[in-house]
Every structure is written in C-alpha cells, then in structure tokens.
Structure 1
C-alpha cells in the first residue's frame, strides 16, 4: 500500500512573511474566518520564471503537468552549513535510473532550523555545476529544504542559480519531513496557489510512496 507523506511546512505567525489574524468569530459573526497575509516566497513555496526575469511566465501559467511526477530523493545531509551540493552527490545508481522528466528532492535535514537565523543565513545550496546538470538532464522539478536553492545573502549567486534552473526546472523551496520517507523514489505533487501574474506562491507538497 502506498504511503502519503506531507512535505509542507505549517504556516504559523512565527514564519517570516506570513501572518494570520481573526477576521470573523463565531460568537459575534456566526462563523470563524481569518485574514491571511503572505510574502510570495515564504514557507513551502514555488518559484516562477518571472521571479528572476528568465521569462515572462508566471506561476498561474505553468502547466499543471509540471507539478506532478516521479522524483528521486538525494541524501545530502553530509553537505552541511553553507555547503555546495554537486552532481557527484547524486549516487550513480540514481543517475543510471534517472530519465528526462524525473525530479530531484535534496534531503539536507535543514528544515530543523526553521525560524532560526541559521535557516536562512547558513543554508546548503545548489552549485552552479548541479544547476547546469539539472538543465542538461531535463529535470522537471527540484525540491530543497532551505528557503532558497542558493545563498540569499549573495545576490550574484542567488540570481545565477535561479536563472539557470528556471530555464526549465520547477523550483520548490522550504520542504520538510523528508526523513519520514521510506524510499528514495516517490511521486511528487507540488501545487502552488494559482495567483494571477504571480512570481511565486505558497504550495502544498506531498510525496506518494508508490514505488515501494
């Protein structure tokens, strides 16, 4: 039987860029409702090519077929703080089985640092060589635990890596719970909010362990 694992961070008022306030309350208004405020790249979220002007494609224009597919889980926990994830971190057996259109999920254990300065300032990131490898191999989706695929404190780096990947790869950032997976190959489903002209959007991301 397939297992279904939620890879999405929970939005709380501790998450930078998000707030939730009561808009209606049952005792006064007859129902409970909230006003939610999101930064477009907070929590578990996805990027659109327009985020770095790679093209004019916005989050609502990306075909939904790009949000679903087989993905390989890469154990990169040893990369560590401020480390670069390189093509050689992908085991050869996965490279041998990989086909164009598959996705990659990089397991770094970084989600344990959510809501701390380290989460943003010391993140392990995707190297230029790996970004180019992903384009060359036609990777459909790439998922990472940190809030970005690159060093957000280095504008040149964060721009270069996003501009390479967004030429053909759907970027998912802010994943969690990867350690709950029991297999290194899953069906990945990542659905961003459909925001008109969106440069990115929060997303609900799940993995289905159909390849157990």
Structure 2
C-alpha cells in the first residue's frame, strides 16, 4: 500500500500555491471542480487510488480527486481555515462588485468548462461561486445546492445580484440577475452561449434566452455566507 507523504501540516490543512484541478473519480478524466490559488483543502485519505488522492475543499466542503502530480502545489497551512459568516446587510453592499466580477469575466475570451471555477473558463455555478467568493461570500458549489441555500423569492421581488435557477426535473443551471430583465451566466454549447453571456427573462428576443426561459425554475436571494 502506497502512502503519500506531504510536508507535515500541524493544522492538517493545506493551501493551494497555484490553481489545481479536482476530478470526479480517481481516474482523473472528468473535471469536478477547481481550487483557486489560496484555497484551503484537507486530505480525506493519504492512501492514493489510481495515482490520485481524495481531498475536500475547506471553504465549501466539496470533495474531489487530486492527481498525485499536483501534490507539489499544496503548502501546509499555518492556521486552520476560519469560516466567516456574513449576513444580508454586508452582502447587499457587495452586489455591485459581484456583478462587476461577472461583467469583467464576460469581457475576457472564455468558453464553458464543466467544473470550472477559475478564470477564464467557468461552468454556471462556478462563475456564481467565484463571483461571490471574490467578496468573501462563500456559497455552495453546485447550482442545486445554491438554490437550497438561498431564500426563495418571487419574480416581482428580483433585485440586482439575486440568483435565477433553471431546470426541468431538478435545478441544473444558475444565473445572476443584472436588473432590467437581464441576467449573466456561463452556459454550454447545446442551449447556451458556450461561455459567459448576457440574456433576458423572456422567450422572444434570442434563441438562448428562449431556451432558458422555458426551463425557469425559481429565484433566490443570498442572505448569508457559508
């Protein structure tokens, strides 16, 4: 049995010294999520399977498989990750910056990347999580988790910075409301923009807006951080 030796960490946590990829399984063929430089993680086991270790990102408790080739990018954390809970008053003040994060990401050449949470290529929930995290507001990783995390609101209550969720039998997509009946999101090739784009809460302006309008699921307001 192979045991992977890392530099010892008194906190049992590590910090990413550069962006890393985490995968759905130990074969490391399908991206699950990414860990941006500076994120904290901990090992679930130091016994590898198929040249990968199972790890957990500390900020959102998201698990994935880290290739052994990426272990060199883990540095021992001198202090444990400290959860910072923030509430709606703080979040409301940060909405302009969160929107600007998405608009700036939109200006850079990008494409839709399943599992992407690191610039320039995001998936839908990765863009949302990264935008809020840029202002110290941590949301769950996946769109259906983000929907559960939000306070449900009606369409008439939508304000800038609220989240819009889409799906058929369950939530599968999320966007950030910009106001004026517009939202920004990272969408795939099949029914979206293959990257970050701005669309409308209507079915009669463009094909992508129409595709998602037919799958409107719910609306939510972020009330606190993880």
The alignment's TM-score, normalised by the length of structure 2, stands at 0.26
Higher relative contact order (CA 8 A, sep 6+): 1
TM-score relative to the length of structure 1: 0.27
